[in-house]
Amino acid sequence: MSLAITEPIFWLYVVNITLVLGVILHMLYQRRSPQNLMAWLLTLILLPYIGVFLYLILGSRKFLNKHRKPTIAMHPSSSVQPQNRLARQLNNILQTNQIAGATANNQVKMYQQDHKAFKQILHEIAHAQSSIHIETYIFELDNTGQQILQALISKAKQGVEVCLLLDALGSFSLYINQKKLKPLISAGGKYGFFQPLWPSIFSGQINLRNHRKIYLFDQTTLLTGGMNLSDDYLGSPRDTLQNQRWIDLMFEIEGPITFHYQNLFNDDWQYATQEELASPKPPKTQNAPSGEIMQAVPSGPDIHGDALYESLLNSIYFAKQQIQIVTPYFIPDSSIMNALLIAIKRGVEVNLLTPETSDHLIFDLGRSSYMRELSEAGANIQLFKGNMLHSKLIIIDQQVAIIGSANFDYRSLFINHEIVNFVYSASLTQSLLIWLNKQLEQSEVYKAEHNPSKRLLENLTRIFAPIL
C-alpha cells in the first residue's frame, strides 16, 4: 500500500527535477545575472511545478524560437563624435553594440505640462500631411484617448497613412474589445497589437512587452518620452482630472535622430502586422553641426546584447562628480547597485528622486532594501510628495543625460522593448536640471525606518525583485 502511494510521488519528484534542470540550462544559455538566477532558483525550489510554469510564461528575456522578432539593424546615418570624455566613451560602446552613432542638428523642445503635451500631439496629428505612426504601451479610450482616436480617424479619412501600434498587455482593454477601433479601420487607418497575449503565453514571450513611446509625424517630427496616451498622462486643462495627472516629460524632436525612430517603428510594425512600410530617407548631411547632439538607443529582446545596460554601468563607474537619477521604479541589478555604492565611496554625489508611493505596491516593497542601503552608504534620496512621478531621467556629471521610456529597474534594462536618447549637449542637459530642481522643491528626504521586522521584509522582497 505504501509503495503504491510513494511511487507516484517519486515520479512527480523526478519529473519536477528534470523540468528544473531544463530551466536552469535555459537560464545559463541566456547569460543571466547571478541575482536573477538566484531569484528564479528559489522560485523553482519553493514552488514545485508552479515555478516552472511561471518561468515558461515570464522567464524569457530574449527571443529564442523560430518565430522571434529579428534583431534590429540600426541603419547608419551621418554621425558626429561628441566632445566630452564620457560622451565619447558611450558613443564608442554603443556603436560597438551595433547602435547607430550620435547625430547633431537635432532641434528639441521639452514639454513639462500634461495639457501642453496633449495640445502638441493633437496639433501634430492635425497638421500631418502624409503619415502618422504611433507606438505606445498604454492607449485607453477615456477622454484623452477618445480625442486622439477621433483626430486619427479624421486624418485617415483625408488619406493620411495612420498606423497605430499598441502593446497587447498595456492596452489590454482595447485588445479584448477591438471593435472600438473599427471606426479607424473604416476610415482607412490601421492598427496592430504587439505580442498578442494567447500566442505569447504558449511561446514563452508574454513577458516581453513593448514599452516604447514613438509618436512620428510625416517621418520628420517626433514626440517621445515617458507619456502614454490616457487621462493619467495627458488631457485638457479644463478636465477634472487635471490635478491628478502623473508627472512626466515629453520631447518634440526634429532632426536626423527621427530617421532611427522611423526605422525602429517600421521594424516593430512589421513584426506585429507582417506589413512592410516604406523605408525612410536618410537625413541630409550638414557641414556645420548645430542643435542638440543625441543618440537613439533602443533596448530589449530585439537588440544585440545589452547596450543600454552596459552604457549605464560604464557611466556610473566613470562618473567623477555627480549622478542624478529620476525614476518611478528603482530596482537595480546587483552590478549597478555595486557601481553606485562604489561611486559613493569614490566621493561621487549620488542623488535619487522617486515617488513617495508609486502605483505598484509590489515595486515599492521591492525597492525598499536598495534605497535603505544607498541611504546608509551616503546617497541623497528624495521622495516626491506630489502626484505619481512617472518621469525617467539620468544625468551624469552634467555631461550626459538619458531620457526616454526606460525605468531604472530590471524589467526596463533587461526585458522590455524600450527606447531612450543619450543627450550629449549642455543646453538640453541644463534644461533638464532646471526641471529636476523644481521637482525637488516638492520632495522630502528619505529616512529609513529602524524597524527589524520591516528590514527583514525588505530583504526578503529583494530576493525576488529581479523577477518582478
pLDDT tens digits, 273-289: 999 999 888 877 655 56
For residue 67, is pLDDT > 60?
no
Tell me, yes or no, whether 164 lies in a domain. yes
Tell me, yes or no, whether 92 lies in a domain. no
Q: What is the mean pLDDT of the chain?
A: 87
Q: Are residues 222 and 166 in the same domain?
A: yes
pLDDT value at residue 66: 41
Cα torsion angle, 115, 110, 255, 223, sign: negative
Q: Are residues 143 and 279 in the same domain?
A: yes
Of 58, 77, 94, the one marking the end of a domain is: 58
State the average pLDDT over residues 320-328. 97
> How far is Cα 223 from Cα 108, in angstroms, rounded to an integer?
10
Tell me, yes or no, whether 180 lies in a domain. yes
pLDDT value at residue 15: 72
For residue 1, is pLDDT > 70?
no
C-beta of residue 77 within 8 angstroms of C-beta of residue 294 = no
Say what percent of the chain tops pLDDT 70.
Answer: 86
Q: Are residues 133 and 13 in the same domain?
A: no
Please name which of 349, 353, 345, 340 lies closest in space to residue 313, comparing C-alpha atoms.
340
Q: Picking from 85-94, 278-287, 397-406, which range would have the lowest pLDDT averaged per residue? A: 278-287
Of 263, 292, 321, the one marking the end of a domain is: 292
Listed ranges 236-250, 337-351, 359-373, 444-458; the one with the highest mean pLDDT: 337-351
Q: Picking from 132-146, 197-211, 442-456, which range would have the lowest pLDDT averaged per residue? A: 197-211
pLDDT value at residue 32: 63
Say what percent of the chain tops pLDDT 90.
Answer: 62
State the average pLDDT over residues 327-332. 95
Tell me, yes or no, whether 163 lies in a domain. yes
Of 292, 315, 340, the one marking the end of a domain is: 292
Please name which of 374, 378, 433 lies closest in space to residue 400, comparing C-alpha atoms.
433
Q: Picking from 172-181, 199-208, 260-269, which range would have the lowest pLDDT averaged per residue? A: 199-208
Tell me, yes or no, whether 401 lies in a domain. no
pLDDT value at residue 3: 44
Q: Picking from 18-27, 107-116, 377-386, which range would have the lowest pLDDT averaged per residue? A: 18-27
Tell me, yes or no, whether 242 lies in a domain. yes
Q: Are residues 37 and 148 in the same domain?
A: no
Q: Are residues 34 and 128 in the same domain?
A: no
Tell me, yes or no, whether 53 lies in a domain. yes
Q: Which residues contact 371 (CB under 8 A, 6 or more apart)?
A: 330, 352, 354, 381, 446, 448
Q: Are residues 193 and 139 in the same domain?
A: yes
Please name which of 62, 67, 56 lies closest in space to residue 30, comparing C-alpha atoms.
62
- Interior/surface letters 110-133, b for 16+ CB within 10 angstroms, e for the rest: bbbebbebbbbbbebbeebeebbb
Q: Are residues 156 and 288 in the same domain?
A: yes
Chain segment 130-174, per-residue pLDDT in tens: 999 999 999 999 999 999 999 999 999 999 999 999 999 999 999
For residue 341, is pLDDT > 70?
yes
Model confidence, pTM: 0.87
Q: Are residues 32 and 170 in the same domain?
A: no
Please name which of 405, 140, 96 lies closest in space to residue 88, comparing C-alpha atoms.
96
Count: domains in the chain? 2
Alpha-carbon distances, residue 143 vs 231, 240, 244 (angstroms): 7, 11, 14
Residue 190 belongs to domain spanning? 103-292
- Which has the higher per-residue pLDDT, 82 or 339? 339
CATH code of the domain in which 180 resides:
3.30.870.10
pLDDT value at residue 388: 96
- Which has the higher per-residue pLDDT, 59 or 263? 263
Q: Are residues 131 and 187 in the same domain?
A: yes
Q: Are residues 24 and 129 in the same domain?
A: no
For residue 294, is pLDDT > 60?
yes
pLDDT value at residue 303: 86
Tell me, yes or no, whether 49 lies in a domain. yes
Chain segment 205-231, per-residue pLDDT in tens: 777 899 999 999 999 999 999 999 999
For residue 63, is pLDDT > 70?
no
Q: Are residues 185 and 276 in the same domain?
A: yes
State the average pLDDT over residues 374-392. 96
Q: Are residues 153 and 278 in the same domain?
A: yes
